[in-house]
Amino acid sequence: MRRFAGKLTELVTVLLISSFIVFAIGALLPGDPTVTVLGENATVQQREQLRDELGLDDPLLVRYIRWATDAVRGDLGTSLRTQEPVATIITDRLPVTLQLTFMSIVLAIVVGLPLGVVAAKWHGGSVDLGISVIGLSSLAVPYFWLGILLILLFSLQLGWLPPSGHEPFFQSPAENLRLMILPVITIGTAMAALVMRQTRTAMLEAMSQDYVRTARAKGQSETGTVLRHALRNALNPVVTVVGLQFGSLMGGAVVTETIFSIPGLGRLVVDGIFNRDLAVVQGAILTIVVCVVVINLLTDLLYERLDPRVKL
C-alpha cells in the first residue's frame, strides 16, 4: 500500500512537470493571439485590452498556475478561433481517438498473440522464420505509408472500402466500423508485430521452465501445456508492452487521423498548431499526456494483479 502511495506521488509529480511543459508549448508558440482573435486590422488599444483580458502580460508561472487550476476544474479555456470551450471540443474528439486506439489494441492482440504462440511452439522452423520476417517488416512500416498503401489497394484499386471520413458510432454503427477498418489496420499492424515478438520471447522463456516440464511429465496434453501453463505466464510481458505502447498509438493517431480525415484528438493537435489556436493545442496535448500517464499506472497495477510475485 505504501508503495502504491509512492507510485501515486510519482504520478502526480510527473503530471505537474509535463503539464508545465504543455503550458509552455502553448505560451511559446509564435504568433500573436490577438491577431488570431481580432484579425490584422485591430487598433493597438483593442489589442491591449484583449491582452489584459487574457492575462497575457502576467509572468509565465502566474499564467501556468491560473491555467492549471482552471484545467483541474475542467476549464481548458476557449478556442481562439471558434470561441467554443476547449473542453467541449475535446469531449467531442476524445471518444473518436479512443475508439481508434482501443480497436487497434484489440486487433494487435487478436493477431499478435496467436502468431507469437505459434512462432514459439515451432521455434526455429520455417513458420517461425516467416512470422518473424513479417513481424520485422510490420515494425518498419511508417504509419502514413501503410495508410496510403491500404487506401490505394482497398479503396482505389478494389473499391471495397471508403478511403476516408468518419461517422459517429451511435448514429450509424455499421458505417462507423466500415470507415474504421483501414485506420485500425494502419495503427494496429505495428502493434500486432510488437505483441507477437513479446509473446514469442515470453513463451520461449516460459516453456523452458520447470513447471512446464512438470505439466508435460504429468501427462498434460501438449496444447494444454502450451495454453494453460506457458501462455498464462507469458501474458504479463504482453500486457506491459500493450500498456506502454499506448503513447505511441496516440502518436500514430496524429498521422492516421490526418490521412483518413478522422476528427480525433491527434488531428486537433495538428490543426491547432497550424491555426495557432493555443488553448486548443494545450488542451489536446494535456488530454493525451494524462491518458498516457494514467494508462501507464493501470498497466503497473494490472501487472501486479496478473503476477502475484510482483509487488509494486
Partner 1 sequence: MSVTDTRDIGSTPGQAPTRQALFALLRHPMGMAGGAIIACVVLTALLAPIITTVGPADIDYTAILQPPSANYIFGTDEIGRSVYSRTVYGAQIALVIVGGSVGLALISGTLIGLVSGYFGGRTDTILMRIMDAILAFPTLVLALAIVAILGPSLLNALIAIAIVSVPSFARLARGSVLVVRELDYVKAARTMGASSPRVMFLHIAPNIMANIIVFASLMASAALITESGLSFLGLGVQPPTPSWGYMVAVGMNYWTSWWMSFFPGLAIFLTVLGFNLFGDALRDVLDPRQTGSQT
- What is the nearest approach in angstroms of partner 1 to the Cβ of residue 304? 19
Residue 157 Cα distances to 79, 160, 164, 259, angstroms: 40, 9, 15, 17
Alpha-carbon gap, residue 245 to 198, rounded angstroms = 12
Task: Map residues 153-172 to x or -, x wherever contact with partner 1 holds by CB under 8 A.
Answer: ---x----------------
- What is the nearest approach in angstroms of partner 1 to the Cβ of residue 37? 19
Q: Of 17 and 298, which has the nearer Cβ to partner 1?
A: 17
Q: Of 24 and 106, which has the nearer Cβ to partner 1?
A: 24
Asked if 269 interacts with partner 1 (CB under 8 A), we say: yes
User: Under rule CB under 8 A, how many of the chain's residues touch partner 1?
Assistant: 48
> What is the Cα 164 distance to its own chain's centre?
20
- What is the nearest approach in angstroms of partner 1 to the Cβ of residue 286? 10
Burial class (CB in 10 A: 0-12, 13-18, 19+), 177: middle
Instruction: List all residues 6 or more positions away from 274 whose beta carbon is below 8 Å from its beta carbon.
Output: none
Asked if 268 interacts with partner 1 (CB under 8 A), we say: no
Q: What are phi and psi of 19, to 5 degrees?
A: -65, -35
Asked if 5 interacts with partner 1 (CB under 8 A), we say: no
Count of CA atoms in the C-beta half-sphere (13 A) of 61: 0
Task: Map residues 193-222 to x or -, x wherever contact with partner 1 holds by CB under 8 A.
Answer: --------x--xx-----------------
CB 202, CB 236: distance < 8 Å: yes
Asked if 289 interacts with partner 1 (CB under 8 A), we say: yes
Alpha-carbon gap, residue 12 to 132, rounded angstroms = 39
- What is the nearest approach in angstroms of partner 1 to the Cβ of residue 254? 6
- What is the nearest approach in angstroms of partner 1 to the Cβ of residue 28? 5
The cell numbers describing 179, all together, are: 470507415
Asked if 38 interacts with partner 1 (CB under 8 A), we say: no
Stretch that binds partner 1, among 28-36, 67-75, 92-100, 177-185 (CB under 8 A): 28-36
What is the torsional sign of CA 39, 40, 42, 48?
A: positive
DSSP letter for 58, please: S
276 phi-psi bin (left φ>0, alpha ψ -120 to 50, beta other)? left
Q: Of 169 and 203, which has the nearer Cβ to partner 1?
A: 203
Asked if 140 interacts with partner 1 (CB under 8 A), we say: yes
Of positions 89, 285, 299, 300, contacts partner 1 by CB under 8 A = 285
Stretch that binds partner 1, among 102-110, 169-177, 226-234, 245-253 (CB under 8 A): 245-253
Asked if 145 interacts with partner 1 (CB under 8 A), we say: yes
The cell numbers describing 57, all together, are: 502580460
Count of CA atoms in the C-beta half-sphere (13 A) of 247: 13
Return residues touching partner 1 (CB under 8 A). Answer: 10, 13-15, 17-18, 21, 25, 28-30, 136-137, 139-145, 148-149, 151-152, 156, 201, 204-205, 247-248, 250-252, 254-255, 258-259, 266, 269-270, 273, 281, 285, 288-289, 292-293, 296
